[in-house]
Amino acid sequence: MAKEVVPRTIVASIRNQRQVQPDLDPLGFAASKLWNIARWTCDRIWNETGLIPEDSDLKSYLKSHERYADLHSQSSQRVLEELAEAFKGWYTKRRNGGQKANPPAYRKHNNDHPRSTITFKGAGFKVDTKYGRIRLSKGRNLKEYWSDFILCDIQTRPDIDLDDVKSVQQVRAVWNDSKDEWELHLVCNIEVDAPDTPGGKTVGVDLGINNFAALAYEDGEAELYPLNCLKQDDYYFSKRIARCDESSSEQATRLNAKKSNRRTHYFHVLSKHIVQRCVEEDVGTIAIGDLGGIREDEDSEVKDWGKHGNLDLHSWAFDRFTNLLEYKANVEGISVDRVSERGTSKSCSCCVRERKSNRVERGLYVCDECDMVANADVNGAENIRQKVSPSLTRGGRDRSNGWLAQPSTYLFDSESGCFAPREQVLS
């Protein structure tokens, strides 16, 4: 699988919290002290000039201020930038009519300075991902008290591998009020597995009662997924449920649950199998008939979703399957387009004619206009596919090879839980 570098913020807890807290606390207090001094400076400049200073002005005013050196210079700069950004956010809100918006507030906590977030940039930090350590620089004023640096042993969530960290842009020390401890936020680029780029081809999927799914690929290959196993399953369970009398209704409930679980399992395996086939065939877009649209249009063509033999497959089952397929396809970067099924079972996918005389005989679609004979479900799937990608060879396809008439059939083997192609019988 290809690798891709993406920006992320990794939250890390500090394992040696008790050792580093006495060092981080004064930095947090210093950050809020500096904020408040800058905030007061803004007020003063505003009163004299009617303007709020930019962050560059604040930096040059305050860089010689005694408190500026409590933090590493780049951390102090960041405090002033954040204040300037907060003022800009306030202007924007006021310009957009937010009269209730308040200017950035002073940072106070019971007449004391609270623990503000401290940002470490550039030379202000050093990350050792191999040993899970981060070294944070103090300001000049605070160095003499203890040591020059704060060395934090960090721990990240188990699913995050620090080896994947390519570069760290900044480290933010954030006080977590609910845990009553400091944590570090690493703003970084990490390497992740990139989903393989999907192909550009299309496939049409027609869902139905006889073949649960018929697939027509862009290059003319076609596949059928008959409902054989679900029918056998339903027949078996219906018989057993019918034999349950009132006294064993609990047993009937259990059997119904089992039947439903097996159907869900079938849907999962089939959707996974279809997505796998799409990956193999370089498919980037799956067009699938939107059954919701059909139910609204009673006059057009309404499939009989009611009882079919022993199988009670209702439209919700198709919706559920489509959702599963969409979810699994999206994971592979393949998109799923739901298209209206209107006209897709009646017209010829080859010459695109819809004629009254065209008919379905024993599952085969026969076109009077162009003499095409195709599996009816595959013809429907090809019409669905053409709704997202009109075939360039439309109407001019070589029909002599019977490309739609001889689809591969995949049968579900409940023992192995897989779909396997049935040996093709050529007539």
Cα 235 to Cα 241, 257, 259, 318: the distances in Å are 10, 15, 10, 20
* Shortest distance, position 401 Cβ to Zn ion, whole Å: 16
Using the minimum distance from each CB to Zn ion, give the nearer residue, 10 or 351: 351
Amino acid at 164: D
Is 291 an interacting residue with respect to Zn ion (CB under 5 A)?
no
Is 370 an interacting residue with respect to Zn ion (CB under 5 A)?
yes
* Shortest distance, position 159 Cβ to Zn ion, whole Å: 54
* Shortest distance, position 369 Cβ to Zn ion, whole Å: 4
* Shortest distance, position 395 Cβ to Zn ion, whole Å: 8
Asked if residue 192 lies in contact with residue 164, where contact means CB atoms within 8 angstroms, the answer is yes
Using the minimum distance from each CB to Zn ion, give the nearer residue, 355 or 422: 355
Is 173 an interacting residue with respect to Zn ion (CB under 5 A)?
no
Is 404 an interacting residue with respect to Zn ion (CB under 5 A)?
no
Is 378 an interacting residue with respect to Zn ion (CB under 5 A)?
no
* Shortest distance, position 379 Cβ to Zn ion, whole Å: 9
Using the minimum distance from each CB to Zn ion, give the nearer residue, 135 or 353: 353
- Give the span between the Cα atoms of 309 and 66, in whole angstroms: 87
Is 372 an interacting residue with respect to Zn ion (CB under 5 A)?
yes
Q: Is 132 left (phi over 0), alpha (psi -120 to 50) or beta?
A: left
Using the minimum distance from each CB to Zn ion, give the nearer residue, 140 or 359: 359
Using the minimum distance from each CB to Zn ion, give the nearer residue, 20 or 372: 372
Q: Radius of gyration of the chain from Cα atoms?
A: 33
Is 134 an interacting residue with respect to Zn ion (CB under 5 A)?
no
Q: How many residues bind Zn ion (CB under 5 A)?
A: 7
Q: Is 209 left (phi over 0), alpha (psi -120 to 50) or beta?
A: alpha
Residues from 335 through 364 that contact Zn ion (CB under 5 A): 348, 350-351
Which position among 38, 165, 367, 384 is part of the footprint of Zn ion (CB under 5 A)?
Answer: 367
Nearest to 339 by CA among 299, 277, 294: 294
Under DSSP, the state recorded for 409 is E
Strands (DSSP E) found in 81-143: 118-121, 125-128, 133-137
Using the minimum distance from each CB to Zn ion, give the nearer residue, 3 or 359: 359
Residues from 17 through 46 that contact Zn ion (CB under 5 A): none
Q: Which residues contact 269 (CB under 8 A, 6 or more apart)?
A: 412, 417, 418, 419
Which position among 46, 228, 369, 399 is part of the footprint of Zn ion (CB under 5 A)?
Answer: 369
Is 374 an interacting residue with respect to Zn ion (CB under 5 A)?
no
Using the minimum distance from each CB to Zn ion, give the nearer residue, 150 or 214: 214
Question: If you write DSSP's letter for every residue of 238-307 in order, what string do you get?
Answer: HHHHHH--GGGHHHHHHHHHHHHHHHHHHHHHHHHHHHHHHHHTTEEEEEEEEHHHHHH-SSS-----S-
Asked if residue 369 lies in contact with residue 355, where contact means CB atoms within 8 angstroms, the answer is yes
Using the minimum distance from each CB to Zn ion, give the nearer residue, 12 or 348: 348
* Shortest distance, position 294 Cβ to Zn ion, whole Å: 23
Where do contacts with Zn ion occur on this chain (CB under 5 A)? 348, 350-351, 367, 369-370, 372
